[in-house]
Structure formats: structure tokens, C-alpha cells
Amino acid sequence: MTRFVSEALAKHARAAFRSGNDRVDLYFRETVSQDVKRKYAACYVLIERSTGKVAGFYTLSAHSIPLNDVAPELAKKLPRYPSVPVVLIGWMGRDLAFRGAGVGSLLLYDAISRVSKAPIPHCQEWPKGGAFRGRPRAVRIGATTDRSPGRGEIGAPLPPGCSWPAAAAPGC
């Protein structure tokens, strides 16, 4: 069993959450539930199993990028619309009490995993060297050491053929 579990934001205790960034803390404590209610964003929290404490959170929102910002080898396979739909990780925060516990990597892994499993059509290819010109080419994070698979748990092994940073690719 893993130390943390990921779940959609519900009636979790958020008042004690402290990330060290006042803007992030204020958003998580006072605004995120309004964004979820309005369907502007979906929020997921990472809960420590033993205490029930919120270790971190992230939000996902629909977004788009101009087709001109997509690498040519990927753009030629897409419809000629002016923009390409993407999922935006809008907010992310980790409670200071969990500094050094790998919570940031777990949150990012969970977000990528959740998006790649979403029942919506998405690109199955990730161009060599990264998909977007003029932006960082890869996310430098490590996989978790706890590889226990399970429903809603973080730390499940990557699918066959996937490795970091390639796991950031849709479909991995």
C-alpha cells in the first residue's frame, strides 16, 4: 500500500494547508471549490493515508495553444484549426510539512496519468525532442520508488515502453 492516495477534491480539511506561497494557499483554501463548482477546473488532492492530511493538490482545466506553436512533425497530423486543445495544470501546491517526500513528483505523475487515461481523443505521438518549439523539452522528475499498483493510488508502475520524461507524452 502506498503512503498517499489521490482523489477528487471534496470535503477535505483545507484550512491548515500551507505551501509557503500565500497566493497558492489562498487559492486552495478559498477559491478552488468555486472553480470546481463552475466547472472551470477539476481539483485533485493527495492525501496521506495515515493522517488524512492534504499533502498537496493540483487543478486541471481545458486550454488551447496556437497550432503554430506545435512542432511541425506533429502539426502536420492535426486538423488545420487555429488552435489545438490541451489540458492545463493550472495550480499545484505541496504542504510544507511534506517537503522532501516527493509530493511534487507524485502530483505531476498523477496529473499526467489522469489526463492520459481520460476518455477523450488525444494525440498518441510525442515528437522526438519535445512537442512544442521554444519551450522546455522535458520535465525532469523521477518516478516514485513505491510501485504498488491500485485504484486511485500514486506510484503505480509506468506502462510498458514508457520512461521519464517520455511518460509525459499522452498515451504513455
CATH topology of domain 4-168: Aminopeptidase (3.40.630)
- CB atoms closer than 10 angstroms to residue 95: 22
Give pLDDT, residue 143. Answer: 30
Extents of the domains making up the chain? 4-168
Which residues have a Cβ under 8 Å from the Cβ of 93 and sit 6 or more positions away?
Answer: 17, 19, 21, 24, 25, 28, 56, 57, 58
- What pLDDT was estimated at residue 120? 64
Q: What does each of the 172 residues of the chain score in pLDDT, given as a tens digit?
A: 688 999 999 999 899 999 999 999 999 999 999 999 999 999 999 999 999 999 999 999 988 889 888 888 888 888 888 888 888 898 999 999 999 999 999 999 999 988 888 776 554 444 444 444 433 323 323 333 333 333 233 333 344 444 433 344 444 3
Residue 20 backbone zone (phi > 0: left; psi -120 to 50: alpha; other: beta): left
Residue with cell 510498458: 160
User: pTM of the entire structure?
Assistant: 0.68
- pLDDT score, position 33: 93
